[in-house]
Structure 1
Amino acid sequence: MERKFCNKPFFIGIACLIIGLWTSPYFILGEDAHMRIHDNLDSNIAWYKVLKESGQLFAPGDAPIGQIINGELKRNAFYTEFYAMIALFMVFPPVIAYGLSQLITRLLAFIGMYLLLKDFIVKDERAWFIQIGTALTFSLIPYWPSGMLSILGMPLALWAFLHIRAGKAKWFHYLILTGLPFLSSFVLGFFYFLTAMGVVWLIDAIRTRKWNVRFLLAIVYMTGIYLLMDHRLVTSMLLPHEPTNRDVFYESKNSLAATFKLILKNYIFAHNQDRSVHDKLILPFSLLCLVYVIWKKRWKEEKLFLFLHFFHLALSAWYAFWFYEGWQPLKERVGILNSFNFSRFHYFSPVVVYALFALSLKILADAVRSWPFLGGERTERLGKAAAAGLILAQFLILVPYNEQIYYRHSPSFKQFYAEKQFQEIKAYIGKPAEDYRAASIGIHPAIAQYNGFYTLDTYNNIYPLSYKLEFRKIIERELAKDKTIRDYFDHWGGRCYIFTAELGKHYMFSKRSERVIKDLDLNTEQFKKMGGEYILSAVPILNAEENGLALEKVFEDDDSWWRIYLYRVNG
């Protein structure tokens, strides 16, 4: 009986069951499920619905998405139709599609990390429980949902590439390189991974004076699939195009002192798109193991462990220095440095952190096993128990990061998009949505977009600079009041929102909020010129009349997070 319940296949099954339970609330709760808002509900999920209803899924890159910013947003601003996330949202209801993406991503993340640890990181067969436990905790980190395997798929890709590099590849290793591009983003993940693989190939070639042709061709092959899939993006980058908001994306503003603070912050806490939740246990534990390795002078035995510690710090330094003010003059002269975020090599961090965790657990188990005063079998069991205890502790640390727990005080999917409430607003207006334009104050425009409104405001990574400058005229007097929102809009502008000095960079005012806008100063003539007719505000505007706005009606609904004040532009 003991063998039956203490073997590797049994615990692999338990790990898969835990992943299933972790993702089950999406299927059980449906639209009552909670999920991340930033770069998710406020953007990506609404984009999928807009793209689905636009009929432009397979359209050329310059085809307009008429529902957003007067058609100035083009098809190439959205993901390729070959991306699995898009396919899921085209076929299934949004929450089910989201749940399936989570389940697929986490299962493949577990498998990939387990295989990588087993074959290349912790190869000791006695350490299978470390391999499984570390892979499970890696698969449960709070990754950026719309990225799918853009980050969490790196262990699986690395496992395949390392076998190809060693000349031991099988057909399924190439199948992985073929399939992963459909489950991940090139620009938001695998560009950086494949660049790193190219660097590894180059170092190998210099060191051994041999061209590892299979390895090189594998890198070219996977890159080629990504470029073919994302043909719109490639075409838009190669062909002449009008300036976009990315051309004035000035992000290198940090002083040297702020840069070193950012190194420390990223090293300890990571970036919000690749949070590995390593600050509470993994980082201090791995640093203790580093002290032990140095004390015991195990330089040769733990070369990989030492390299990964250095690499983790180097990734944070690279990320932080990308925002150092000294870079900005060069970025302004070299366009791609300004429009493409090369700081994102930090996407490697979760893989590095959990590889360090596995190696640290192995160092602990080996250290305990070497204790002479307990005896062989007892030290073996004690070493396993200590490692298992830390794996369990990391799992318990991760539990509160499950979206249903972490975002329990935020609106659910149903409350956020408030479909019933927004349909009532559309019915009250009583005109086809394409015949007028709306904008939002105090709430994300993605909510109106999700509900079929045609909006002048949006959150998108790339759109024409000319539109941004025209939209700016609507809010120019509000921007003049507050440097924070002025810099935020002028130096980035991805959030093309109606910012107000009184609300600042906040756009989540629930119906429980008591905030009001007392002194709004919009250019409503410019708003009308761009087609604007209605403003959907989450807070009352006390001087609406001074801005040429008339309050039409206040909308509330029990299933909504919001109270919507519908204002119409006079004349």
Structure 2
Amino acid sequence: MPEVRSVFPSRLRVSWPLWGAVLLLLLLSAVYLAPGGRTYILLDDNLDTELVVPYVLVQEGKALDYRPTTRVEHLMGGIPRNALRPGLQPLVGLIALLPPLPAYLGHELLVRLAGLLGMYVLLRRYGLRGPQQACACAALALAWAVLPTYTAYGVSVLGQPWVLWASLNLRAGQQRAASVAALVGFALWSSLVLAGLFVLAGAGGILLYDALRNRRLVWGPWLGLLVMAATYLVVEYPLVSSLLIQRQFVPHRLEFDLGQLAPGGVGVGLVAAARYFALGQYHASLFPRLAPLLAAGAAVTLATPGPARQLLRRRLALGLAALSVLALFCGFYPQLLTGLQRAVPLLRTFNLTRLHFLTPLAWFGVLVLSLRHLPAGRPRWALIGLQLVMGLGLNTEWTRNVQRQLGRLPAAEPTYAAYVAPELLSQVQQDIRRHTGQEPAAYRVASLGLPPAVASLNGFYTLDAYLNNYPLPYKHAFREIIAGELAKSPELQTYFDAWGNRCYLFSAELGKNFRVGALPERVVQHWAFNGAAFRRLGGRYVLSAARLARPRESGLRLFGHYTQPGAYWQLWVYEVKW
């Protein structure tokens, strides 16, 4: 194993500002600690999807089983294994060792520590150099590490400073082994489809611009990116195998029509573009870009007139112009896609707006470039402090846990224990076992008014799920179950037909309320549920967070009503008539 000094600059080993930033990050993370699983973690697009797949892969022992014939029985009645996330990623390994919540929290801390260290080494070498800059680098690294990003995607966002650090090292012919290791690590710990392809493209674009400007091609960073791409091919073998090597299924994403999901018009596009520019996108990191913009304005105003000031203006203008063009592209993308996706079907399955995963680092680049031209002092620290406060203040997981510690967590935002409700779901399993003698593997369930993730994390085998990739024929078969409700609601019909990642039981009366809490009790008066189609897929029980006023109209009968102190839900379990 290489010595620490071969990987990091020697001053990193004795940098008290760095270790101070690490300690502050650990102290900020302590707010997540709570007994009995009473920690808040992000619910939408996170707990309702990102923990389920690694959990069921580990439960079935199929995390690394990439055979084309392998199916994961817990989801959608038996989904092809290679439709799901790879098994080589750290979150899957942690879930193999720990229960889901400790695994998630441990993974989150590791991701943020990796982000902090990556930003620090990048700034110390290439951003704010010199011994007197260590405190500013550490503070900026901490501000980077607390950004409100989805850490279930690994280091897709927070690990990008390592890619830039490694590419610049290889360009300079320095620390080759450590730099290649950083690129391999990024590919192992990030998502190819969300960020990896765009990081590769962005880094390649920068290197190409550098080669054209200097009229010299430096092979080191190109070879580093090639190694990174090769690592992605190994890690993402399920995706590569199912799509490129041996076509194993037709993905439901071929029916994506994002143009239907977003309203059209120039005004709508401009508003969306302004939001992308000023705030970003929530999966990547949603925070106001106020500190970088203020810093850029201050730097241009206060810089000493001369060539250096002109160069600064050109660089900031180029950077902000590029970010503006990207924001306009993302804002108008649904409208652009409407015509293009017919000519290029691949655009249905591949979302180019994920370029926004590059923007948090780009905005920090604007901030750092501006700070380099500001004198040390209170204004500079005020800007760094503003960025830290903005990022931390919009970090929903952190702020919700602070509210929980103060006893002020909103009723509509349950903790992990209340959301997963293991004791409540255990009651249901025990009653089914007592009445039928069947274990969960012998029957299939679907959920109404609560995410299927709740059932999956409690060991049920589900027909419904929230997945980014699954077979198109299954979407069509499942649609028969909910066709009556979709016919009542054009909004839900478009939501399912033009997207469909949430392959859920829908109710027009509930709309897009996929989190119906125990109180107040909700009642669905008329539910157009196709019990025959449900039975054909192997379904037997509906777990409903809302009471059905007329279950017989839906071909169902009440099996039981369940409540549990501390659970977010109350459940009515209905059995399909045979």
- Do the two structures share a fold, i.e. TM-score over 0.5? yes
Offset of residue 356 of structure 1 = 2.1
How many corresponding residue pairs?
545
CA change 1:191–1:61 in 2 (3 A) is farther
What is the correspondence of 1:9-24 to structure 2 with a 5 Å cutoff? 9-24=15-30
CA shift digits 1:74-128 (9 cap, x unpaired): 2122222211111111112222211221121111111111222232233465433
- The structure 2 residue matched to 1:345, chosen from 327, 352, 355, is 355
Spell out the pairing of 1:445-464 with structure 2 (5 A cutoff).
445-464=452-471
Q: Determine the C-alpha separation between the residues in 1 that align with 2:315 and 2:132.
A: 19
Checking the alignment, whether the CA contact within 8 Å between 2:337 and 2:347 is kept in structure 1 is no
Q: How does 1:275-354 map to 2 (within 5 A)?
A: 275-279=285-289, 281-282=290-291, 284-286=293-295, 288-289=297-298, 292=301, 298-324=309-335, 326-354=336-364
The answer for the alignment partner of 2:421 in structure 1 is 418
Is the partner of 2:334 in helix, strand or coil?
Answer: coil
SS of the aligned residue for 1:503 comes to coil
Aligned residue identity for 1:162: L
CA pair 164-548 structure 1, distance change in 2 beyond 3 A: same
Task: With the length of structure 1 as denominator, give the TM-score of the two structures.
Answer: 0.90
Distance 1:329-1:200 versus aligned 2 partners, 3 A rule: same
Letter in 1 for 2:419: F
Among 95, 105, 109, the alignment partner of 2:101 is: 95
The alpha carbon displacement at 1:54 in A equals 1.3
Q: Deviations over 1:269-315 (max 9, x none)?
A: 21111124224x42552463376379968221344433332232233
Residue 136 of structure 1 deviates from its aligned partner by 0.8
1:30 is displaced (CA, Å) by 5.6
Q: Tell me: CA distance 1:185–1:237, structure 2 relative to 1, closer, same or farther (3 Å).
A: same
- State whether residues 300 and 312 of structure 2, in contact with CA within 8 Å, keep that contact through their aligned partners in structure 1: no
Distance in 2 (alpha carbons) for counterparts of 1:296 and 1:317: 33
Within a 5 Å distance, the mapping from 1:529-568 to structure 2 comes to 529-568=536-575
Choose which of 224, 244, 253 in structure 1 pairs with 2:251. 244
Report the CA distance between 1:69 and its aligned residue.
Answer: 1.2
Give a deviation string over 1:42-76, Cα, whole Å, max 9, x none: 011122211111121121253111111111x2212
Contact 1:134–1:357 under 8 Å retained in 2: no
CA separation in 2, counterparts of 1:340 and 1:293?
44
In the other structure, the counterpart of 1:77 is: 83
Say whether residues 1:259 and 2:266 are aligned partners. no
1:405 counterpart = 2:415: no
The answer to whether the 8 Å contact 1:61/1:236 transfers is no
Change (3 A) 1:122 1:30: farther
Contact 2:482 / 2:506 at 8 angstroms: preserved in 1?
Answer: yes
1:160 Cα deviation from its structure 2 partner: 0.8
Q: Distance in 2 between matches of 1:205 and 1:512?
A: 62
Amino acid at match of 1:348: L
Residue 258 of structure 2 contacts residue 337 of structure 2 at CA under 8 Å; is this kept in 1? Answer: no
- Alignment of 1:134 onto 2:140: yes
Partners in 2 of 1:237 and 1:328 — Cα distance?
A: 24
Counterpart of 1:438 (choices 439, 442, 445) is: 445
Question: Which structure 2 residues correspond to residues 511-526 of structure 1 after superposition, within 5 A?
Answer: 511-526=518-533
Matched residue type, 2:62? Q
CA root-mean-square deviation:
2.2
Is the counterpart of residue 194 in structure 1 residue 200 in structure 2? yes
- C-alpha distance in structure 1 between counterparts of 2:557 and 2:145, whole Å: 51
CA distance in 1, matches of 2:36, 2:332: 42
Q: What letter corresponds to residue 423 of structure 1 in structure 2?
A: S
The alpha-carbon deviation at position 548 of structure 1 amounts to 1.7
Q: Deviations over 1:350-376 (max 9, x none)?
A: 11122222333444x33xxxxxxxxxx
1:369 is matched with which residue? Answer: none
With 401-410 and 416-425 compared, the bigger mean Cα shift is at: 401-410
1:448 to partner: Cα distance: 0.5
1:60 is aligned to 66
1:369-399 per-residue CA deviation (whole Å, 9 max, x = no partner) reads xxxxxxxxxxxxxx42222233234333444
Q: Is the partner of 1:395 in helix, strand or coil?
A: helix
- Which of 122, 145, 153 does residue 147 from structure 1 map onto? 153
Give the aligned partner of residue 3 of structure 1.
Answer: none
State whether residues 180 and 227 of structure 2, in contact with CA within 8 Å, keep that contact through their aligned partners in structure 1.
no
- Residue 419 of structure 2 contacts residue 567 of structure 2 at CA under 8 Å; is this kept in 1? yes
Matched residues in 2 for 1:295 and 1:310: separation? 23
Percent of aligned pairs sharing the same letter: 28
Partner Cα separation in structure 1 for residue 282 and residue 252 of structure 2: 23
Question: How many angstroms does 1:447 deviate by?
Answer: 0.6
TM-score (norm 2): 0.89
Cα distance change on mapping 1:276 and 1:282 into 2, 3 Å? farther
2:212 to 201, 206, 209: 206
The answer as to whether partners of 1:425 and 1:555 remain within 8 angstroms in 2 is: yes
> What is the DSSP-based 3-state SS (H/G/I as helix, E as strand, rest coil) of the residue aligned with 2:15?
helix
Larger displacement relative to structure 2 (156-165 or 486-495): 156-165
Question: Partners in 1 of 2:90 and 2:298 — Cα distance?
Answer: 40
- What amino acid maps onto 1:420 in structure 2? E
Q: 2:123 aligns with which of 113, 117, 124?
A: 117
SS of match in other structure, 2:561 = strand
Q: Is the Cα–Cα contact under 8 Å of residues 562 and 570 in structure 2 kept in the other structure?
A: yes
| Structure 1 unmatched runs, 5+ | 1-6, 367-382
Provide Cα deviations, 1:389-436, integer angstroms capped at 9, x if missing partner. 332343334444251433632111111111111011011111211221
Measure, in 2, the Cα distance between the counterparts of 1:53 and 1:269: 39
In structure 1, give the amino acid aligned to 2:551: A
